[in-house]
Amino acid sequence: MKPHKILVINPGSTSTKIAVFEDEKIVFAENIKHSADELSRFGYIIYQHKFRKDLILNKLKKAKIDISQIDMIVARGGLVKPILSGAYEVNDRLKEDLLKCIQGEHASNLGGLIADDIAKLTLNAKAYIADPVVVDELQDVARITGRPEIFRISIFHALNQKSVARRFAKSLNTKYENLNLIVAHLGGGISIGAHRKGKVIDVNNGLDGDGPFSPERAGSLPSGGLARLCFSNKYNYEEVKKMLVGNGGLVALMGTNEARDVEIMAEKGDERAKLVQDAMCYQTGKWIGSMATVLKGKVDGIILTGGIAHNKYLCNYVSEMVEFIAPVKIYPGEGEMEALAVNGLMILNGELKPLIYE
């Protein structure tokens, strides 16, 4: 029987990852990097739509992959309304909400749009998103803040966090739903989730400013200082927003969105680079500790994942801070491409029923 051919698209803040699978076997993969300077010419992330789509099509063409023969396209989901975990076929309402950025800007908003465009170039493929960043399983108490006008929402690296949590559970010969875990995704943004018996009951919204600072996010800031910045008459709303998401974190502090660059600078004796790197590590460990209290200290494992989990210094620093809570397991990289492909294959094989976005 001819294997199913699945195209997977994963737009991130600093890269666009693509892969072609034949069933579960990966036959082509490319990580298209985007520098901060390259993306700075786009006023809004959504304006990167055609730019990223054309790069994908060019890469596939150079690899001599006939897109007309693709059976399914599965993309990383975006900031749509809060929804249940699962796979969703891209429909007009989903595209409308992705274009409107109804819960904010993020590169993952481009996934469903690009997938739908490319699906139209195939013979019969459909486009889907799976486990988008707005999967919402928060307990109600986690939503409340000290202002009635503001409440916390669930926006995190759901696809990666869920996939590595299941992978960890499998290594223990048990089910994800049987464990309490803390999962820290370390990438362009950092999200740290408390997983209780298969549900992410609390997680920082790294996109909107919660949590540790990261390569491109400013992270949680002192409220008074942020208020003074906003009303200093020096910046408009869009400029402040860009300071928090896109030009925050390592971009603002060190002039790069590459954690590896800062690591190399620190290794060469740059004291400023070492202090900034240590601060990012410190804040990550601090937030992991806070999630341990959410789980009332009953933690079966702590997982470090994402692209920056390749950074041994960072992982060692964080592990030393938190290993008293539970054993630390490191899964470098995202594993999101495989997770997206598995969702697509399950749909093609009739093992998973796609959900309808309404």
- Tell me the mean pLDDT in the region 37-63: 90
pLDDT for res 152: 94
Please indicate, yes or no, whether residues 320 and 343 belong to a single structural domain of this protein: no
Q: What is the DSSP letter of 88?
A: E
Q: Is residue 340 part of a domain?
A: yes
Same domain, 131 and 240: no
Average confidence score pLDDT of the chain: 94
Q: Contact at 8 Å (CB) between 250 and 214?
A: yes
What is the tens place of the pLDDT at every residue in 100-138?
A: 998 888 899 999 999 999 999 998 999 999 988 899 999
Mean pLDDT throughout 41-48? 88
Q: What is the CA radius of gyration of the chain?
A: 20
Q: Would strands 199-203 and 190-196 be described as parallel, antiparallel, or unpaired?
A: antiparallel
What is the pLDDT at residue 133? 86
Q: What is the DSSP string of 179-198?
A: -EEEEEEESSSEEEEEEETT
Closest-CA residue to 94 (of 112, 74, 120): 112
* pLDDT-based confidence at residue 38 (cuts at 50, 70, 90): confident
Calpha distance 280→227 (Å, rounded): 23
The pLDDT value recorded for residue 117 is 96
5, two tokens? 């051919």
Q: Which of 1-5, 176-180, 255-259 shows the lowest mean pLDDT across its residues?
A: 1-5
- Find the mean pLDDT for residues 215-227: 95
- Asked whether residue 320 falls in the same domain as residue 340, the answer is no
Say yes or no: 260 and 168 in one domain: yes
Both 304 and 174 in one domain: the answer is yes
Q: Is the pLDDT of residue 205 over 90?
A: yes
Q: How far apart are CA 47 and CA 301, in angstroms?
A: 40
Both 132 and 169 in one domain: the answer is: no
pLDDT value of residue 351: 87
pLDDT at 86 over 90: no
Picking from 206, 212, 193, the residue whose alpha carbon sits closest to that of residue 295 is 193
Quickly tell me which residue has 């759901």 as its tokens. 158
Domain identity same for 171 and 52? no
Which tokens is 164 given?
A: 């590595």
> Where residue 223 falls among pLDDT bands split at 50, 70, 90?
very high
Residue 13 pLDDT exceeds 80: no
d(CA 175, CA 197): 9
33-47, 155-169, 188-202: which has the highest mean pLDDT? 188-202
Domain containing residue 24: 5-136+336-348
What sign results for the dihedral spanned by CA atoms 159, 161, 167, 172? negative
**What's residue 71's pLDDT?**
96
Query: Does 143 fall in a domain?
Result: no
Whether the per-residue pLDDT at 95 is higher than 90: the answer is: yes
Same domain, 282 and 321: yes
What is the number of domains present in the chain? 2
By C-alpha distance, which of 316, 292, 295 is closest to 304? 316
Which CATH number does the domain housing residue 172 bear? 3.30.420.40
Q: Is the pLDDT of residue 336 over 90?
A: no
Mean pLDDT across 252-258? 95
**329 forms bridges with which residues in the sheet?**
303
Is residue 1's pLDDT more than 80? Answer: no
Q: Kindly give the interhelix angle for 312-322 and 259-267, rounded to the nearest 10 degrees.
A: 90
> Domain check: are 290 and 344 in the same one?
no
| Residue of 206, 82, 84, 201 lying closest to 140 (CA atoms) | 201
State mean pLDDT over 330-348: 91
Cα-based distances in Å from 357 to 82, 84, 88, 119, 340: 10, 10, 6, 18, 18
**pLDDT attached to residue 195:** 97
DSSP reduced 3-state for 7:
strand
**Residue 223 domain-assigned (yes or no):** yes
353: Cβ contacts below 8 Å, ≥ 6 apart: 347
Residues 14 and 122 reside in one and the same domain:
yes
pLDDT score of 335 more than 90: no
Helix (H) or strand (E) holding 73: strand 72-76
**What's the average model confidence in pLDDT over 173-193?**
95
Q: What is the percent of the chain with per-residue pLDDT over 90, rounded to a whole number?
A: 81
Q: Cβ contacts of residue 228 below 8 Å, gap of 6+?
A: none
Asked if residue 346 lies in contact with residue 24, where contact means CB atoms within 8 angstroms, the answer is no
